[in-house]
Structure 1
Amino acid sequence: MMRVWYYVLAACAFSTSAVAQTSPQQYPNQLVHIVVPSSAGGVSDALARTIADKVGANWKQAVIVENRPGLAGTESVARSSADGYTLLVTSNGHTVINRINKNLPFDAVNDFTGVAQLASVPFVLVATRSLPVSDLSGLRALARTTRPSLTIAIPGIGSSASILSELFKATAGIDLLDIPFRGAGESEMAVQRGDVQLLFMAANIAVSMIQAGAVKPIAVVSEKRIPRLPNVPTMAEAGLSQMTYDAWFGVLAPAGTPKPIVEKIGADIKQVLTMPVVRSALEQQGFEVRFSGPADFNATIRRDAARYAQVFKAIQAPGK
């Protein structure tokens, strides 16, 4: 009988300890890791480091950013303990991971939970200077009559530019030949040299290249015009109102992370994003700060996963 009570008391003690470890009042009480599944210097990396610096100071706890490029980085978070101490900062390309990669050991939607959407980045469709059109209607007409097809740079299948390219082809009713590159830098150089004719480029990079005359703009993928490119129309203004896209970036945690912990992290990140110094820094880097909490962000993730599954259904996944 005494042995039975020993095990009952031990189980109660363990349960109490587990609850204490997940108490939002005590979180975080140890090092927090933020994994970025891309190389240092990219968009996700810049966001992660900005958030880590400020939220770590508020928590009075060390928060470190680890660059683990590719699927291995994403999988490492999916397989981490669901306790809030390992997080992922990634882009909306996360929602197509399982669509474009065969037989992955994790599910990019169901093995994660949304914590907070941080920001969005407008994109600009740019063309090499030698392309004999300067607006969307001219581009669509040229694409329909050009054989072989006009080319568009793809800085990694599943990247924001990759998703945009597929959406654009489907929405505009044109065919473009995808030219894959290992990253944004290589694709940007290719369109500057004229090796490739088109590219969807993040606005913060596109602005400087357009102003330098290295490429020419066709249209902006955004709800409104970009202040630094006041003469470049949006896709809707250029006649393609169905071309909508939100290149969001956000924080995810492993599925099963306690809801109170997820909500606390989200609330603390929201507080950081309201800081004038943070908003100013992000806006100077080309971000549009757009916070949404766990419930809304999870809805966005699932909606985008369903939408882009249809867009990418014609793309042959590696290994098929």
Structure 2
Amino acid sequence: MPATHWKPTRRDVLRSALFLALGDAIVGRTVFAQDATYPNRPIRIIVATAAGGGIDAVARTVGAKLQEAWGQSVIVENRPGGNQTIGTNHVAKAEPDGYTLLCISSTHTMISGLMPKLPFDPIEDFAPVTMLAYGPNILVAHPALPVQSLGDFIALAKSEPGKLNYGTSGNGSLGHLAMESLKSMTGIELTHIPYKGAAPALNAVLSGEVSVEIVQIMTALPHVKAGRLRALGITTATRSPAAPDIPTIAEAGAPGFEGSSWFGIVAPAQTPPAVIAKLNEEFVRIMNLPDIKTRFLSEGVEPVGDTPEQFAATMRDESARWGKVIKDMGITIQQ
């Protein structure tokens, strides 16, 4: 018996097209409705480091304001480990619905250069929301170290090659790369002691377990003012209004040195543009609140609150810049 071949009639084609159009419309209305009611349940802000560091403080500060404004619980959750890859990967793989966010620092744009075999792409797998704030770091020393300036420290390090050490919040952190840059620029030899997070690293320099450390200004400044740490230099190209007596590292003995920090919010890639826009609008409003601006500026950190497009450009530029530094210095992290 000969095979028969079904040919769709014009009516069949029109009916199929109508069903597809209706399906698209229903899906579109559903997505729009979800976006319009966002947020209607708790939001989590993931911090990929241990509690107690600058990024943790920033996340909790803006998280509290977000909860106050939207009337939904905002939970800041620390997921440290794996040089920040555990918490970061969790958000990269999360549902892109705006209910799981990641608070990042400049370290986020360095990680691909240090660890090429990542389970996520630090740029492509995230939707930038906004840069929250920008600020310098401070090179601090334990008061027992017999130095009063960066010049003194360089001279001491050169007289005792490899005997002095420095602490960081972990391999591949900004503090690590900045100190390695300083070593290269000044010709000194120091031993790197990585810790599991900013808080234990800070405790190490406070106790004298390590000689020096580069610490975010908002974390270091209270200890400097109290005399528990001695400031040797600040990492920005110009002095900080919050600490005008602290010279820049560039002017104090390492011309051209710069290594600043920033903090920002990202969401999983494919998060609806309407949700990103709503998050951006609210975070920008928060960063412009008088009490937030006063608090951040007093701690040496400048509130930013830019657009998603501006933050995306910064992330790409920083990734390229630090990628070159990492390659030139030959720094890698074992995976």
Q: Is this a same-fold pair by TM over 0.5?
A: yes
TM-score (norm 1): 0.87
Distance 1:51 1:192 in 2: 28
Alpha-carbon displacement from aligned partner over 1:55-112 (angstroms, at most 9, x marks no partner) = 3333344433222223221111101222323211111111122233352211112211
State yes or no: 1:303 paired with 2:283: no
Structure number with greater Rg is: 2
The unaligned stretches of length 5 or more in structure 1 are: none
1:20 to 18, 29, 32: 32
In the alignment, what sits opposite 2:221? 207
Corresponding residue of 1:11: 23
Report the equivalent of 2:174: 160
Matches within 5 A, 1:44-193: 44-70=55-81, 71-101=85-115, 103-193=117-207
The residue type paired with residue 268 of structure 1 is E
How far 1:228 sits from its partner (Å)?
5.3
- Identical-pair percentage: 35
Q: Does 1:318 align with 2:334?
A: yes
Separation in 1, partners of 2:295, 2:314: 25
Rounded to whole Å, the distance in 2 between the matches of 1:298 and 1:63 is: 24
Which position in structure 1 is the counterpart of 2:232? 218
The equivalent residue for 1:261 is: 275
Q: Which moved more, 1:43-52 or 1:284-293?
A: 284-293
Using the TM superposition, give the Cα deviation of residue 286 of structure 1 relative to its aligned residue in structure 2, in angstroms.
4.9
C-alpha contact (below 8 Å) 1:171/1:242 kept by paired residues:
no
Rate the CA distance shift 1:129–1:9 in 2: closer, same or farther, 3 A: closer
State the shift of 1:315 in Å. 1.8
TM score, norm. by length of structure 2: 0.83
The RMSD of aligned alpha carbons is 2.7
Quick one: distance in 2 between partners of 1:158 and 1:164? 10
Which residue pairs with 1:42 in the alignment? Answer: 53
CA contact (8 A) 2:242 2:299 kept: no
Contact 1:113 1:252 in 2 (8 A): yes
Per the TM alignment, residue 118 of structure 1 is displaced from its structure 2 partner at its CA by 0.5
Contact 1:93 1:163 in 2 (8 A): no
C-alpha contact 1:102 1:317 (8 A) present in aligned 2: no
Contact 2:141–2:212 under 8 Å retained in 1: yes
> Which residue does the alignment assign to 1:32?
43
2:241–2:300 Cα contact (<8 Å) kept = no
